[in-house]
Amino acid sequence: MKAPFKKISRGSLYEEISGILREAILSGQYRPGDLLPSEAELTVQFGVSRNVVREAIRLLQSRGFLEIRRGKNGGAYISEFKPTTISENFSDLIRVGYVTIEHLTRARTYLEPEILRLAAQNATPEDIQDMETLLDEYEKTSDKDKRRKLNCAFHRRIGEACGNPLFSILMDSIMDFTERFIQTINPTLDIVHRQGEHREIFEAIKEHDPEKAPALAIKHWAHLSEEMERFKEAYTQIMNGTMTTP
């Protein structure tokens, strides 16, 4: 049985409680799939009102730490970590103007060459096979939505192959936003992505060439960033509801 939480008596109560619960999750006291004590139990353990506990739980849910389930076995369950929360924050920050598409472009300009360099060094035969499968499917299909998803999956797979889990998470989050951006503006995908560049990148990784791969990444991202800049205003208008999706 897990030790009960101690009563608190200071500060913003729901934020204090959410901090304590968050620490219990991050320290491993509660693991993904575990059920938190009920609101009634937490109310007694912390010595606060049920509304305070409820607000603390809502805060943790909004940050991706908890999943609320209904029904007979309902309650607040610890979530599996999902980088999508990060990508959603990216999108929100861009929408309010705190982070610009230029900021994201510059970050990817520095990040992606290093990821490709590491992927060229560390990619396993399985990594290479998965990338080639995604690339082959991308080149064969004419379905725009499928091509968009396969394109982003190709970049995600490179992130996984680099061997650095933090880089993989960052790439996954950036690609979540990039995919949402392309889906929102709904251009012809061939306008955004020049034909043949992914194949060149793949061959450099397959050859385990840590110099050629990042150079190709810089060229590829320079082209893509130009296209994103062209469509930036349309994206902002669509997200703000002042323009309909094409």
Number of domains in the chain: 2
- The CATH number given to whatever domain includes residue 101 is 1.20.120.530
Q: Residue 6: inside a domain, yes or no?
A: no
* Cβ 174 vs Cβ 87: under 8 Å: yes
pLDDT of 200 reads 92
Q: Are residues 191 and 101 in the same domain?
A: yes
Q: Are residues 109 and 35 in the same domain?
A: no
Q: Residue 245: inside a domain, yes or no?
A: no
- The CATH number given to whatever domain includes residue 27 is 1.10.10.10
Q: Are residues 229 and 185 in the same domain?
A: yes
pLDDT of 174 reads 79
Question: Long-range contacts of range 16-21, CB-CB < 8 Å, 24 or more positions apart?
Answer: 17/42, 17/46, 17/48, 17/52, 17/53, 17/56, 18/56, 18/57, 18/59, 18/60, 20/46, 21/56, 21/57, 21/60, 21/65
Q: Residue 153: inside a domain, yes or no?
A: yes
pLDDT of 91 reads 62
How far apart are the C-alpha atoms of 160 and 127, rounded to whole Å?
8
Q: Residue 94: inside a domain, yes or no?
A: yes
Q: Are residues 54 and 19 in the same domain?
A: yes
Q: What global pTM score does this model have?
A: 0.63
The stretches of the chain forming alpha helices (DSSP H) are 13-26, 39-46, 50-62, 84-95, 101-122, 125-140, 144-161, 165-185, 189-192, 197-206, 212-239
Q: Are residues 123 and 208 in the same domain?
A: yes
Q: Residue 139: inside a domain, yes or no?
A: yes
DSSP string computed for 92-139: HHHHTTSS-HHHHHHHHHHHHHHHHHHHHHH--HHHHHHHHHHHHHHH
Q: Which domain holds residue 89?
A: 84-239
Q: Are residues 62 and 96 in the same domain?
A: no
Q: Residue 112: inside a domain, yes or no?
A: yes
Is residue 216 classed as helix, strand or coil in its secondary structure?
A: helix
- What's the start-to-end Cα distance of the chain, in Å? 56
Domain boundary residue among 32, 56, 78?
A: 78
Instruction: Name the nearest CA neighbour of 111 among 173, 183, 190, 193.
Output: 173
- Tens of pLDDT along the chain (246 residues) come to 677 776 765 557 889 999 999 999 988 899 999 999 999 999 999 999 999 999 999 999 888 889 999 888 889 999 887 655 665 666 666 666 677 777 777 888 888 899 999 999 999 999 999 999 999 999 898 888 888 888 889 999 999 999 998 898 888 877 877 777 777 666 554 555 667 888 999 999 999 999 999 898 888 777 777 766 666 666 666 666 655 544
Q: Residue 29: inside a domain, yes or no?
A: yes
How far apart are the C-alpha atoms of 190 and 35, rounded to whole Å?
47
Domain boundary residue among 25, 46, 78?
A: 78
Alpha-carbon separation of residue 215 from 110, 188, 198 (angstroms)? 11, 26, 13
